[in-house]
Amino acid sequence: MLKHISAIVTVFILILGFASTSQAATPRSTWVENEIYQYNHPFASQLPQELAMKMQKMTASPFAFYRGTAHIFYRDMQTLPGSGFVNSFTSAIYLEGDMHMQNLGGMRDSNESNVFDTTDFDEGYLGPYVWDLRRMAVSILLAAKENALSSSDAQDIVRNFLDAYLNKMSDFKGTNDELSYRLSESNTNGVVKDLIQEAAGKGRSSLLNKYTLVNSSSNRVFQTTSELQPVSSSTYSDITGAMSSYIASIPSSKRYSNSYYTLKDIRLKLGSGTGSLGKYRYYLLIVGPSSATDDDRILEMKQEGSSAVAIAVPGLLPSSIYGNHEGARVTIATKAMLSNTDPLIGYTTVSSIPFMLHEKSPYQVDFDYTLLTTKSKFMDAMGYSGKVVAKNHAISDKDYDAAIIAVSVDKEVTDITNGNKAVFKDEIVNFALDYVTQVEYDYASFKDAYNRGVTLY
């Protein structure tokens, strides 16, 4: 009986939002070394030089280490205290999964609108909505510290990010505004507006000139560089053979004629990203809308593993939804959280390895947090980021597929935080402050292991 009452009290405390989410950070060198090894070792036989680059990139700063170790974050989400602002309706929503500033950027959507939005959904999965907010809050504190902002200013920036998120969720509640919401040149300013304008100013010819050339036979082919490596004839043949299942993965309403997808050339792409280094990434040159060489398209083909989020909540996104295909999982998550999605997004399998494919867009510019050199620049940019995360969550609920998420997430998040916004923001900020300390401990452990030559993959 006492046990039953205790459980009721615990639930009551969680609903009221008084649960503590803080847990003292602690050095854990051996654990960190083991986690990094276990996560990366499965890829050591395929691209060891890429894993060496990943480890080297992660030594740059705590932020760079954090980017490359989403798996550690979600291992911790298994054991750290939960949020006081999560209930059954908000504990299994679509998450971007690796929410940090460099997974945002300027881009052009399929409606030809230039927007600021999320650029990467490799870790897309279901989980408590606060996990995206926690992960972003930690990245803000790490980046602000790297940019020499004070701790109090950094906390203000996190609160502004959370205010923007909550206010936009409240705006969406009871409307369908999230379905048409976008951040464009007309409703942004500062670094974000500059980013959108930079993306808008790009063109297909510059992307093609960067990676390809027209040879003596008047055919466009990839250049061969240190980043673009030729593939073996067997790999070329295997990828060619996998194109039909990729095309079939695209809904018929978005599918072009088969000639559009005709392969012209393939390269192994090296050196991209941080967390995904070690996994195969190919660039595929395809014919595109005409036989002319100036409208060729480049597809990026990325090897996908299970989502890091699934470490914390295995099976929460039923594998039946994505046919137990990790490339399909990423494709579905992208469509759920982005408006006017790339019509070339799809998935296939090559030699039993799942891949996601999408266009390598000429109009995408990644977010550069080093430009946020003042509090006001940072506040502006993170306000827009809060709105983007709110949009991601709001459009991926029953608006996308009620069979996956049956509720209105904007309504549920607004209702559970209403009247307690200050407590909610305190909870996220306090979590982030504690977790930044943990990241710094883990980074120091990792860097020491790296310098000592410990085997990390």
Spell out the per-residue pLDDT of the chain, length 457, in tens: 333 323 333 333 333 333 445 578 999 999 999 999 999 999 999 999 999 999 999 999 999 999 999 999 999 999 999 999 999 999 999 999 999 999 999 999 999 999 999 999 999 999 999 999 999 999 999 999 999 999 999 999 999 999 999 999 999 999 999 999 999 999 999 999 999 999 999 999 999 999 999 999 999 999 999 999 999 999 999 999 999 999 999 999 999 999 999 999 999 999 999 999 999 999 999 999 999 999 999 999 999 999 999 999 999 999 999 999 999 999 999 999 999 999 999 999 999 999 999 999 999 999 999 999 999 999 999 999 999 999 999 999 999 999 999 999 999 999 999 999 999 999 999 999 999 999 999 999 999 999 999 999 9
Identify whether the C-beta of residue 240 lies closer than 8 Å to the C-beta of residue 261: no
d(CA 285, CA 233): 16
Sign of CA dihedral 256, 282, 233, 347: negative
- The closest of 268, 277, 285, 274 to 226, measured between CA atoms, is 268
Phi, psi values for residue 161, rounded to 5°: -60, -45
DSSP state of 296: -
CA distance 168 to 430: 22
SS3 136: helix
Phi-psi region at 288: left, alpha or beta (left = phi > 0; alpha = psi -120 to 50): left
Q: Say which residues have a Cβ less than 8 Å from residue 405's Cβ, sequence separation at least 6.
A: 92, 93, 94, 126, 396, 397, 398
> What stretches of 147-282 show up as alpha helix (H) in DSSP?
151-172, 190-200, 204-211, 233-249
Q: From residue 267, how far is each of 211, 221, 293, 446 by CA, in Å?
A: 10, 10, 18, 32
* Separation between Cα atoms, residue 356 and residue 74, nearest integer Å: 22
3-state DSSP assignment of residue 93: strand
Which tens digit of pLDDT belongs to each residue from 342-379?
999 999 999 999 999 999 999 999 999 999 999 999 99
* Single pTM value for the model: 0.94
> What is the 3-class SS of 142-161, one letter each residue?
HHHHHCCCCHHHHHHHHHHH
Domain spans in the chain, listed from the N-terminal domain onward: 2-199+367-451, 201-359
Residue 55 neighbours by CB distance under 10 Å: 20
Q: Taking all residues of the chain, what is their mean pLDDT, rounded to a whole number?
A: 94
Q: What is the pLDDT of residue 362?
A: 96
| Per-residue pLDDT, 279 | 98
User: What are the structure tokens assigned to 368, written together?
Assistant: 């550069």
Helices 48-58 and 421-451 pack at an angle, to 10 degrees, of 120
Q: Which of 87, 102, 115 is nearest to 367 (CA)?
A: 102
- Long-range contact pairs involving 294-297 (C-beta distance under 8 Å, separation at least 24): 294/204, 294/205, 294/208, 295/204, 296/208, 296/212, 296/220, 296/264, 297/344, 297/359
Please give the pLDDT value at position 23.
73
H-helix segments, 342-420: 375-395, 398-401, 409-417
Question: In terms of C-beta distances under 8 Å and separation of at least 24 residues, what long-range contacts does 442-445 make, across chains too?
Answer: 442/28, 442/32, 442/65, 442/69, 442/72, 443/61, 443/62, 443/65, 443/66, 444/27, 445/27, 445/28, 445/29, 445/32, 445/33
